[in-house]
Amino acid sequence: MKKNIIFYVIIGAITILGVALDMITKHITMGVNTPIIEGVVSAIFTWNTGAGWSILSDQTLLLTIFSAILVVALILLIIFYRPQSSLFSVGTGLVLAGAIGNLIDRIIFGAVRDFIHLDFISFPIFNVADILLTFGAIIMGIWLVFFWGKKGKKENGK
């Protein structure tokens, strides 16, 4: 049981720090349009009423409900799965932070604040929450494929 507490702390800390970083960066870049690293990345503030690549634009209610369901599902997964893996904990914390960050925007503003623009490639403008969601999903995917259900000594700490 003590070992599980460590994993809950990891999830909680990553979630809190991730949401804080997302909210702070969104706040300080509101209305900004400036290069950060010339030719590489710029801060270009925009409102996104959809999901990634503006999919489901102007479907804020649907996306808000979906995001809320995702957050609740992740919390239930954490409660009932009783995490026993650092990899699972980090991935879950990152996905939870990203989902909460964008959910807060949808609830308060009716849209998500995006600001990170990659100047060297044609790619949608995104935010820190999107980065957290992406890396968290990759980590959770790795955990699901390689470690879920396995009783390896290294991953389960036994």
- Domain ranges in the chain? 2-156
Closest CA to 125 of 40, 44, 29, 23: 44
User: Which pair of tokens denotes residue 30?
Assistant: 């509101």
Please provide residue 112's backbone torsions phi and psi, each rounded to the nearest 5 degrees: -100, 140
Rounded Cα–Cα distance for residues 88 and 56 (Å): 29
60-118 tens-digit pLDDT: 899 999 999 999 999 998 888 777 788 999 999 999 999 999 999 999 999 999 999 99
pLDDT score at 80: 86
In this predicted structure, the answer to whether residue 2 has a pLDDT above a threshold of 50 is: yes
Q: Provide mean pLDDT across the span 120-133.
A: 95
Identify whether 22 is a catalytic site residue.
Answer: no
In this predicted structure, the answer to whether residue 155 has a pLDDT above a threshold of 60 is: no
In this predicted structure, the answer to whether residue 150 has a pLDDT above a threshold of 90 is: no
Provide the residue count of the chain.
158
Please provide residue 11's backbone torsions phi and psi, each rounded to the nearest 5 degrees: -60, -50
In the sheet that 41-48 helps form, which strands lie side by side, from edge to edge?
33-37, 41-48, 112-118
